[in-house]
Amino acid sequence: MLTLRKSKPGFGLDLFEGVEAPAPAAGDVTVRVEHAGICGSDVHAYEWTDGYGFMVPYLPITMGHEFAGYVVRAGAGVTMAEGTRVTVMPGVDCGVCANCLRGNQRNCLRRTAIGLSRNGGFARYVTVPAGNCLALPDAVDTELGALTEPLCVGAEAVLTGGVGLGDTVMVMGPGTIGQAAALFARAAGAGKVFVVGKADGPRFDVVRALGFDRILDVAEAPLAELMGGLKADVVIEATGYPPSVIDGLGVLRKGGVLVVAGIHPGPLTLPLTDFVRNRHQLRATHGCDRPTWDKVLTLLSRDPERFRPMITHRLPLERGIEGFELARQRAASKVMLRP
Ligand SMILES: [Zn+2]
Ligand SMILES: [Zn+2]
């Protein structure tokens, strides 16, 4: 079958014909992938920016960790019926390390990730542990199902920030994670939600289509000036640009929380005196907890069409490289590939 693979370190990906998905072993299922999204982190791996060297021992690898489809074959001991429509959680825990044995699977010491350290969803079929598959609610089709993973990442950032009723929330970065964070901040009862970007036309259009009109473009003026003295209770950073953390702290109220969700290619110089005097709380979020998946699927099934504008481009897998270029040049917001 056709797969979109990272074959070797360095820039680029390869469309590769020939590899097949293995028959499911006990506890595994083979999923027919219907939609697979291109994530910002996939683009980083495509460009081979700093921070993706961990993939080297696993290459060549079929990428794609945001996908949904249906079960075509179940291995021994699997109760999930063939034909079940599923979304797939990418984190695979080992089940036997000290943290897994304590019930703390999220912090598994030998965690692997579907699409980053084992074969993923940029292929017609992928074999994964059945425990990683979540049945989609009837109201959620597999295209929106493939959006679940980035929605969960945005939701987890909102939960990490402790967004509460009436809060002023600033989301930095208008990409898919930022869009998801804005949606779930609103769902959590935020009073005002600002979305910040820099000359981000196509993604600002999506943010507007999702019903947010407080859009701040830092290409026009510094952030503090655009905010006109208003401070945020919670800032969620989803830019992957280290200096944006400093800009975010500059508009955060005393005692407020800044959540770093972006994947950053370099270090941050943090002015510690202001940081301490303002008692700013700096938190990190990465991936998401299993219960968050259930919460997101519940919210997604309540109003699925609310989320659809996040998907801006749909391409067959054969045109995957074109999809990566659209995402890289920020001409697209979320690109969905159809294997
Ligand atoms: Zn992702
Ligand atoms: Zn483990």
Q: Which ligand is nearest to the CA of 44?
A: 1
Q: Which ligand is nearest to the CA of 177?
A: 1
Closest among 41, 202, 19 to 123, alpha carbons compared: 19
Residue 106 scores a pLDDT above 90: no
Distance, CA of 330 to CA of 175 (rounded, Å): 9
Closest among 70, 89, 62, 90 to 29, alpha carbons compared: 70
Å from CA of 109 to ligand 2 middle: 5
As given in the structure block, the two tokens for residue 106 are 């999220």
Å from CA of 65 to ligand 1 middle: 6
Structure confidence at residue 161 (pLDDT) = 98
Q: Which ligand is nearest to the CA of 110?
A: 2
Strands (E), the chain: 2-6, 14-17, 28-37, 61-62, 66-74, 85-88, 91-92, 112-113, 125-129, 133-135, 168-172, 192-197, 215-217, 232-237, 252-260, 281-284, 311-316, 334-338
Distance, CA of 243 to CA of 324 (rounded, Å): 25
More confident site: 311 or 287: 311
Do the domains 151-284 and 2-147+307-338 match in fold? no
Q: Are 148 and 312 in contact (CB under 8 A)?
A: no
Max intra-chain CA distance, the chain:
61
Å from CA of 197 to ligand 1 middle: 19
Structure confidence at residue 255 (pLDDT) = 98
Å from CA of 39 to ligand 1 middle: 5
Å from CA of 95 to ligand 2 middle: 5
Residue 337 scores a pLDDT above 90: yes
Only one residue has tokens 């425990």, namely 131
Structure confidence at residue 330 (pLDDT) = 87
Q: Are 87 and 28 in contact (CB under 8 A)?
A: no
- Domain map (residue ranges) of the chain: 2-147+307-338, 151-284
Å from CA of 16 to ligand 2 middle: 32
Q: Are 310 and 147 in contact (CB under 8 A)?
A: yes
Sorted by sequence, the CB contacts under 8 Å of residue 231 that are 6+ apart come out as 168, 251, 252, 253, 256
Q: Which residues surround ligand 1, an ion (CB under 5 A)?
A: 39
Share of the chain above pLDDT 90, in %: 91
What is the tens place of the pLDDT at every residue in 246-270? 999 999 999 999 999 998 888 999 9
DSSP letter string, 207-239 = HHHTT---EEETTTS-HHHHHTT--EEEEEE-S
What is the tens place of the pLDDT at every residue in 174-192? 999 999 999 999 999 999 9
Å from CA of 221 to ligand 1 middle: 30
Note the pTM of the prediction, 2 decimals. 0.95
What is the tens place of the pLDDT at every residue in 314-323? 999 999 999 9
**What is the rounded average pLDDT of the residues 100-114?**
91
- For strand 85-88 and strand 133-135, is the pairing parallel, antiparallel, or unpaired? antiparallel
CATH code for the structural domain at 2-147+307-338: 3.90.180.10
Mean confidence (pLDDT) of the chain: 95
What is the tens place of the pLDDT at every residue in 202-217? 999 999 999 999 999 9
Length of the chain: 339
Å from CA of 75 to ligand 1 middle: 27
As given in the structure block, the two tokens for residue 60 are 């060549």
Does domain 151-284 match CATH 3.40.50.720?
Answer: yes
